[in-house]
Structure 1
Amino acid sequence: MLKTNVYFVRHAHSTYTPDELGRPLSEQGFMDAQLVTDIFKSENVDFVISSPYKRAIQTVEGIANWIDKEIIIEDGFRERKLAEGSVVDFNEAITKVWENPDFAWEGGESNVDAQKRGGEITMKVLKNYEGKNVAIGTHGNIMVLIMNYFDAQYDFTFWKKLAMPDIYKLTFSERELIGVKRLWERGVHNG
């Protein structure tokens, strides 16, 4: 039975701008991205996939350089859209969508919709890269929604405890999640 390892890499700290697509990593984010690359030097990654957002790409590009492969951009791993434009109170807005999975703010995605998108692209990865090790540059909310798609214990409380960056190795046997291991601890390798 072939095992597939999917490494979800939540992007490192970014410099806030209203430009979701082009927001770059901060100075701290670039330093942490180097630590992320160092962790992956012993993980035998075959492919690197990323959300189209710059901060996600910049977090995993060192891994792609290390294995000498191009980053495959997959729109399905972009962050969930919370609302059209900015929200007045982010904590209130994010809490409401997690409390009611079908609720969406105007112009935003509900948990149900975002999870469906994330689940579908992850299933595609599991099919196309079976037996491989795949690093995926992504974002906190969509990452946890995908993890929750496979195991309900990964919920809003879990999301609130994520670091930035963060790395979770999900091991699958075909489409079944059989193991989850955190690999990030301020650069300490937990592999």
Structure 2
Amino acid sequence: MQTNIYFVRHAHSTYTPDELRRPLSERGLRDAQSVTDVLKSESIDYVISSPYKRAIQTVEGIAKLIDKEIIIEEDFKERKLAEGSVADFREAIKKVWADPDFSWKGGESNNYAQKRGVEITLEVLKNYEGRNIVIGTHGNIMVLIMNYFDTIFDFTFWQKLDMPDIYKLTFSGRELIGVNRIWGADNNG
């Protein structure tokens, strides 16, 4: 029995230091409508999201369309890079990808964040076997989860993600049998 997980990287947000309540920008809200339009033909059964507002806002349209509440899962939140801000984000993120056990002060290593993300993903695969599940999440944690199943999904892959982006992962039990990008903001003209 196949299970499809649709990882949806959140749309563009308006920057605030408040990770939990950072909202989508006007562009992000428009792109979230496009996410809904794409997913409405995918026979979605359930919608799960990170607790972060921008992730919830990106998938709430499909939840409303299928008349289901969004299930909030804390472990789909973005990986914590460091306590507070970092001087050079690109260099900071490069370093954690180069050394999976390294973490900045107060942050999560790739291995730690990946373990958290994979555990909740495996739980979703068990609890919703044979279903089509949308998961509203974030770029780094999404790619770390995908990397667990296939190492082709790495730092270089992460750098090419759009905001939003949708990847359909097809599983047979816990085995990944296919990955398809079904939409990204760059498809939007």
- After TM superposition, the score normalised by the length of structure 1 is 0.97
1:17 maps to: 16
Match for residue 152 of structure 2? Answer: 153
Matched, 1:115 2:114: yes
Deviation at 1:186, TM superposition (A): 3.5
Identity over aligned pairs, percent: 76
- 1:64 is the counterpart of 2:88: no
Per-residue deviation, residues 28-85 of structure 1 (Å, max 9, x unmatched): 0000000000001100000000000000000000010000000000001000000000
Q: Does 1:51 align with 2:59?
A: no
Matched, 1:181 2:175: no
Asked if 1 retains the 8 angstrom alpha-carbon contact of 2:12 and 2:24, the reply is: yes
Question: Cα deviations across residues 62-115 of structure 1 (Å, max 9, x unaligned)?
Answer: 010000000000001000000000111000100000000000000000000000
> Equivalent residue of 1:170, what SS?
strand
What TM-score do you get using the length of structure 2 for normalisation? 0.98
Q: Which portions of structure 1, spanning 4 or more consecutive aligned residues, are displaced by more than 6 angstroms?
A: none
Structure 2 unmatched runs, 5+: none
| Residue of structure 2 in register with 1:97 after alignment | 96
Q: Cα distance, 1:176 vs. partner?
A: 0.1
Is the 8 Å Cα contact of residues 5 and 132 (structure 2) preserved in structure 1? yes
SS of structure 2 residue aligned to 1:6? strand
- For the residue of structure 2 that corresponds to 1:7, the secondary structure is strand
Structure 1 residues 1-40: aligned runs within 5 Å: 2-40=1-39
Q: Is the 8 A contact 2:47 2:69 kept in 1?
A: yes
Asked if structure 2 preserves the Cα contact closer than 8 Å seen for 1:39 and 1:187, the reply is no
Displacement of 1:188 in angstroms is 4.9
Distance in 2, Cα, partners of 1:187 & 1:166? 9
RMSD over aligned Cα, in angstroms? 1.0
- DSSP 3-state at the match of 1:180: strand
Q: How many residues align?
A: 188
> In 2, Cα distance between the equivalents of 1:151 and 1:27?
34
Deviation at 1:187, TM superposition (A): 7.5
Shift in Å at residue 185 of structure 1? 3.7
Q: Distance in 1 between matches of 2:140 and 2:184?
A: 19
